[in-house]
Amino acid sequence: MTPEVKPLVAGNWKMNGTRASLDQIKAMAEGVKGDLSDKVESLICPPVSLLYVATALADDSPLKIGAQDCHQKVSGAHTGDVSAEMIADCFGTHVIVGHSERRTDHKEDDALIRAKAESAYAANLIAIICIGETESERKSGRTLDVLKAQLAGSVPDTATAANTVIAYEPVWAIGTGLTPTVEDIEEAHAFMRAELASRFSGEGSKMRILYGGSVKPGNARELMAIANVDGALIGGASLKAQDFLSIYGAYEELTA
C-alpha cells in the first residue's frame, strides 16, 4: 500500500455476463456499503451490454461501474465500437484501456492506448491503463524495460492521480493461476512508482498502481499488503459477489 493513497479494488468481467448476472452486481453494491468504503474504492467493469442497468443497480452504493474499452474517437463510422462519451452517458465512471488481451487480440499499441486514455479524460472518465510483460520477456530479463516503455508510450502527458490508474498485469499470470513472487511484484511496483514520480512529480507519487493476475480471496491480503500495490484488477474472481467482496474485505485489517 502507498500511504495516503485510497486503494481501488476493481473487477474486469471481460466477455462474461448476461442479465442473469446482474444479481451478482446487486449483491456487490450492497456488500460494499459500510465504513470500509470510506477507505477503499470499489469498481466493476461488466460487458457494455450490462453497463446502463449496472449503473442503475449501483446508484445508491459506493460501487462504481465502468467499461472495458473505448474508441479513441468521439463518434463516427466505427461499427461495433463504443466511445468514452457513450460510457459516460450510461453513467460509467472508469474505462480500462490497454489490457493485454486488447494488445494481443486486437494488436493495440502504446500510441493507440494513449489516445484512448486521452479520450477517456475528455469524457471525464478515469482511465485504468494496463501494462505488463509476457512470459518470454520476463524469462529474458526484460520486465523493467517493458514496463518503462509501456508507461512512457501509453500514459498521456496530461495524466494525474485523479484521472489515471495504472494496472500492472504480468501477461503470463492472467487467468493461469500463476502469480509472481512477492519480491517480483514489489520490484515492479517500486520501479513503476519511481518512473511515475520522475515524470509526474507529486501526481506520480499519488497515482494508484493496481496489481492484476490471478488475484483470489486466498492471496488477496498478501498481495494488497505489498508496498506500492494500491489495489487489484481482478478477472475471474470478480464474477461472483462472494469472491469479489472477500478480496475487497482484505482491506478491513490492512486499513485498520
Give dist(CA 114, CA 100) in Å, integer: 14
Retrieve residue 90's grid coordinates: 450510461
Give dist(CA 98, CA 110) in Å, integer: 8
Query: Among residues 132, 66, 135, 65, which one has the least CA distance to residue 98?
Result: 132
pLDDT, tens digit (0-9, with 9 covering 90-100), for 2-32: 888 999 999 999 999 999 999 999 999 999 9
- Non-local (6+) Cβ contacts of 133 within 8 A are 142, 143, 146, 147, 170, 171, 172
Q: Dihedral of CA 164/168/171/177: which sign?
A: negative
Query: Among residues 202, 99, 110, 104, which one has the least CA distance to residue 148?
Result: 110
| Domains of the chain, earliest start first | 8-236+246-254 (3.20.20.70)
pLDDT, tens digit (0-9, with 9 covering 90-100), for 157-188: 999 999 999 999 999 888 788 778 999 999 99
Q: Whole-model pTM?
A: 0.97
Catalytic residue list: 99, 169
